[in-house]
Chains A and B, each alone.
Chain A
């Protein structure tokens, strides 16, 4: 027995394909599987290296010499005719002192699987150590795994869409509920506020105060619900604004100052001042956190100093600074056992010393949520009898060079300052256009007016560069404010113009909604000069003007008009109204209905808006605007009455919106609130209001207008 014979049997135990090749390349002996596949029998001559095409070794040319050179390398050969492929190695018999080569290997499973329909191979055709069958199983299972993951991914996508839909429905629900709750609640709060003008005593005073506090707390709870919902729905979205940290802190201190002064508290700053760089972050959240903490400190402190501080901790944060904020007070402190649950909703941490403050326990929960959204964590240190320090550290990115700062510097703004720039005012209500236009002019702005969203879009298309800022009624009937926004964003040069929505719904939810739509913010209705000034400060250049103290003197005159000469004017006006009774206009007749039935203690008119308007636009302009309102209101009232009788929802919404807005602008509070309630009821999509309530509103309106006219007469005399 020669040496190949010695190993032949052993090789076939290890490999299912074994072939002895002579020096001419002829397959002279083969294992059963190889012999079968190569159709080797006693009559045939199989040139082994010509029988297969070899994919590997790369440089193998099919000759015996080349095969010897490739000893140790992987041979991959296939025969399309045979439907078979091999993988293995060459052994050189010369190393054993003999001639020829030996091929040892296994079927090349992947080629066979890929290129044959039925290989008829079985597991026994592969030796136990060969991994190809393992790979086959692995690949089959891997495919199953991929299928599983894809199915899981589809499930997750579907679940996410469902959650998003549910979230959207919840947002709509919150919006709807807030509208439904806040409108009547504002009526309650306004009424209670009006009641405070009367000299209430004893139990009546006690109940009124209790009702007022309860209503305030309820409003706080509603706002908390909206804040929470808004944060959850928008937490992942970018809402960064560039701001000056010094200005922000000053602004928050300024807001807290009136209440602090009332209580005799000192307000101050600690930490750094004069930050050299501006920052960029979610400004609204940061402002509310600082305001809530300051408001809490003021609410619970009876004496001492409250300080707000910011300190740059420098950094491991290359894009900006880690900044530590602290708000500290010298109030009664928080008991240790209350601190753990202090940030939970409805946890007040009240002690005997702070029970008087009656917080809802929601402000700190908002603080915690907002600080987390800003990337930090709020903590508190407190000692009963000594005071409390709230602190949090958040990353603040550096604002890009040249970024427009959003932080209001209201602390240093003077009413005598004047803006420069052109404002496009878009409002379907003529009265609002005139009044708000005058207000803008009084602040130094050039004003261009459009009475619809379509016209505003057309104006911007013709020359967007002409405008520096847009103010749009959020509830325009044809092209809505939000639809107009989409057109405006497509106009070259218009996309960067800041846009404010004018709306009676100006809570945090509405603010987030308009900002989400790409607008700069919300302006509440009726539009107040202070709010407008704050909004303009963020976007328009400010010029100082020399007022020669006229506005101050004017302010003083108006504030004193209720006394002295005012009383004579009241008499004159009363006489005029009596004398003109038979020649009253249709409007006056309408509004005078039910005078006799009006309860004597009902206050339908608040003089403060008129005093403010006289100061801001002057008595002449105001007179003409009020005349216009009275002239228009007859038709609008009739249109509303008819729409309510015929249950025409859209007309009810439009007319109630316009009448409500105008009434509140001129201080006709009771009627204004009633119109708002009608609008809200119609907007809610529920049962439409009926004409049953119109006589009561007519009474409110009639009384309010008489008082309005009386006050205007006094102002004219002045």
Chain B
């Protein structure tokens, strides 16, 4: 994953618990240093190790840590660094998610190691929406759950995730989020 993800994780811990806690997380993770550069690609294991160390250090489940990270990612990292893109990608949460693949396509033309997930939005009726998340990476569904909550807050919309349904795939991960919009 790109350094921007690891940096965001670091920022979350530092903002909420202070630098010393982050240093404990870093020590626990076994990752040698935290001089991440946003545009540099790092091994996925680094991100997984840091996330697991965060969970262990806070004495919470990894899924809870990833959910919190998903919210932080939208509310802080994306909002601070990619505000113009966020605006351009949609006026509401579903519009944004519909454009997200388009945005990922464009990013892929610049970042050759970029392996983005895919989102598909299907409106079942006026308020109920199915959001399909497909990724070649495993274990990030809780992160996406947090991300959806973050987006809803970002666009001032109420949203309830009714059901999270893992779906069978040969490799990676596919998840259906059944969502009700307010």
Q: Give me the interface of A with B, judged by CB distance under 8 Å.
A: 113, 118, 120-124, 128, 131, 133-134, 136-138, 140-145, 148-149, 152, 155
Contact = CB atoms under 8 A, between A and B. Distances in A.
A46 B40 CA distance: 49
A137 B82 contact: yes
Interface residues of B, number: 26
Interface in B89-124: 89-91, 95, 99, 102-103, 105-107, 109-110
A145 B36 CA distance: 10
B38 A134 contact: no
Contacts of A152: 35, 37
25 contacts: A113-B84, A121-B88, A122-B88, A122-B90, A123-B89, A123-B99, A123-B103, A124-B99, A124-B102, A128-B102, A128-B105, A131-B109, A133-B103, A134-B107, A136-B85, A136-B88, A137-B107, A138-B110, A140-B81, A141-B81, A143-B81, A145-B39, A148-B3, A152-B35, A152-B37
A123 B82 CA distance: 14
B50 interface: no
A155 B19 CA distance: 14
Q: Which 3 A-B pairs have the closest CB atoms?
A: A144-B38, A123-B99, A134-B106
Contacts of B110: 134, 137-138
B154 to A, nearest CB: 15
Contacts of B87: 118
A152 B36 CA distance: 9
Contact of A137 (B3, B35, B106): B106
A696 to B, nearest CB: 56
Point out which of B37, B82, B106, B110 has the most chain A C-beta atoms below 10 A from its C-beta: B106
A714 to B, nearest CB: 75
Contacts of B89: 122-123
B84 A136 contact: yes
B102 A123 contact: yes
A122 B84 CA distance: 10
Nearest to A152: B35
B21 interface: no
A148 B82 contact: no
B4 interface: yes
Given A122-B89, A137-B110, A148 B37 contact: yes
B95 A122 contact: yes
B109 A134 contact: yes
Given A128-B102, A137-B82, A155 B35 contact: yes
A140 B36 contact: no
Given A122-B90, A123-B90, A123-B99, A137 B38 contact: no
A133 B81 contact: no
A133 B104 CA distance: 11
Point out which of B36, B38, B95 has the most chain A C-beta atoms below 10 A from its C-beta: B38
Dominant secondary structure at the B interface: helix
Contacts of A128: 102, 105
Nearest to A123: B99
B38 A133 contact: no
Given A128-B105, A133-B103, A145-B38, 19 more contacts: A118-B87, A120-B91, A122-B88, A122-B89, A122-B95, A133-B85, A133-B106, A134-B106, A134-B107, A136-B85, A137-B82, A137-B85, A140-B81, A140-B84, A144-B39, A144-B81, A145-B37, A149-B37, A152-B37
Nearest to A143: B81
B7 interface: yes
Interface in B21-35: 35
A149 B85 CA distance: 23
A142 B81 CA distance: 10
B60 to A, nearest CB: 28
A535 B21 CA distance: 60
Contacts of A136: 84-85, 88
A141 B38 contact: yes
A477 B105 CA distance: 76
Nearest to B90: A122
Nearest to B78: A140
A123 B91 CA distance: 10
Contact of B39 (A118, A124, A142): A142
A141 B102 contact: no
A148 B38 contact: yes
Nearest to B89: A123
A336 to B, nearest CB: 39
Nearest to B38: A144
Contacts of B99: 122-124
Interface string B39-72: 1000000000000000000000000000000000
Contacts of A138: 110
Contact of A141 (B4, B35, B36, B88): B4
Contacts of A121: 88
A674 B177 CA distance: 88
Contacts of A131: 109
A134 B84 CA distance: 12
Contacts of B4: 141, 144
B7 A122 contact: no
B103 to A, nearest CB: 6
Contacts of A142: 39
